[in-house]
């Protein structure tokens, strides 16, 4: 059984479009995260949610909006896509709010903006 | 601001040999965690090993061990008896105790294993 899953795995789209990436975890964890891995493979946190409450909001353009319908899901919606948004987006989850427990990552979604 | 630095963009090791990947970090916090994650070509991020800063004993997981030097802010990963499946990108990561789980990653080290 997949612990942290993301859909889609690949996403190719045109500049200016709006797209969403979905994430689901079946580990019963309280906290979920979004990370971005750029073309140089550098990973950086974007957001974290604990039980549907926004905890971390890094300096991310407001075109990116996370949405957490329940604690098992954290979706990422991106408006007006730009070329620089091309990256791999990882969802992760951990048991606790403070993030002391290990974070488990999803398989990543490769987004390509043309 | 906390930072993590991996100064070796690429490393290579012969199968069955030992290799050490370097990582240094900068923080003013006294309580934190350090991690090594592995990212094979499949892209999946896999936790290799974890170290709590308050523990003096170095963490070990089978063939993987760390050398944690808190005063020097150094956290290296040693892989013994390297296997072909160890070939991957390795990321060192830091997480402060009270910052809500925010992982700060280094730039990564690409490890290749020669048969």
Q: Give pLDDT tens digits for B11-35.
A: 999 999 999 999 999 999 888 999 9
Comparing alpha-carbon positions, the chain B residue that sits nearest to A39 is B107
In 3-state terms chain B splits into helix, strand, coil percentages (rounded to 5) of: 5, 50, 45
The percentage of chain B sitting over the pLDDT mark of 90, rounded to a whole number, equals 86
pLDDT category at A43 given cuts 50, 70, 90 is very high
Q: Is the pLDDT of residue A105 over 80?
A: yes
Q: What is the pLDDT of residues B53-87, one digit of tens each?
A: 998 899 999 999 999 999 999 999 999 999 999 99
Asked whether the predicted pLDDT for residue A98 surpasses 70, the reply is no
Q: Report the pLDDT value the prediction gives residue B78, as an integer from 0 to 100.
A: 98
Looking at the DSSP bridge assignments, the partners of residue B43 are: none
Residues A5, A109: Cα–Cα separation, whole Å: 10
**CA separation for the pair A81, B65 (Å, rounded):** 42
Gap from B57 CA to chain A (nearest CA, Å): 19
Q: Would the pLDDT of A99 be above 80?
A: no
From B89, B100, B108, residue closest to A98, measured CB to CB: B100
**Closest in A43, A94, A107 to B101, CB measured:** A94
Q: Which residue of A has its CA nearest to B3?
A: A44
Residue B4 is predicted with a pLDDT of 97
- Encode pLDDT of A47-93 as tens digits: 988 887 888 888 788 999 999 998 899 999 999 999 999 999 999 99
Provide the token pair at B5.
């630095």
Query: Inter-chain contact A92–B95, Cβ cutoff 8 Å?
Result: no
B34 CB contacts (<8 Å, ≥6 apart)? B23, B25, B50, B51, B53, B66, B68, B75, B92, B93, B94, B95
Nearest one of B52, B4, B49, B48 to B24, comparing CA atoms: B4
Flag if A98 and B97 touch (Cβ within 8 Å).
yes
């Amino acid at each position: 059984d997949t612990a942290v899953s993301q859909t889609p795995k690949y996403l190719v789209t045109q500049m200016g479009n709006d797209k969403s990436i979905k994430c689901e975890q079946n580990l019963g964890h309280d906290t979920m995260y979004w990370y971005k891995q750029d073309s140089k493979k550098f990973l950086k946190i974007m957001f974290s949610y604990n039980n549907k409450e926004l905890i971390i909001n890094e300096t991310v353009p407001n075109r990116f909006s996370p949405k957490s319908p329940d604690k098992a899901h954290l979706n990422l919606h991106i408006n007006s896509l730009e070329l620089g948004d091309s990256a791999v987006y990882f969802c992760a989850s951990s048991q606790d709010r403070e993030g002391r427990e290990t974070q488990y990552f999803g398989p990543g979604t490769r987004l390509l903006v043309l | 601001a906390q930072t993590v630095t991996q100064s070796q963009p690429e490393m290579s090791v012969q199968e069955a040999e030992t290799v050490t990947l370097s990582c240094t970090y900068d923080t003013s916090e006294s309580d934190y965690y350090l991690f090594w994650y592995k990212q094979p070509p499949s892209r999946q991020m896999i936790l290799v090993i974890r170290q709590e800063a308050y523990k003096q004993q170095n963490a070990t997981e089978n063939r993987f061990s760390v050398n944690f030097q808190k005063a020097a802010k150094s956290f290296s990963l040693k892989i013994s008896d390297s296997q072909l499946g160890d070939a991957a990108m390795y990321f060192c990561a830091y997480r402060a105790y009270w910052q809500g789980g925010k992982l700060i990653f280094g730039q990564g080290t690409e490890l290749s294993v020669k048969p």
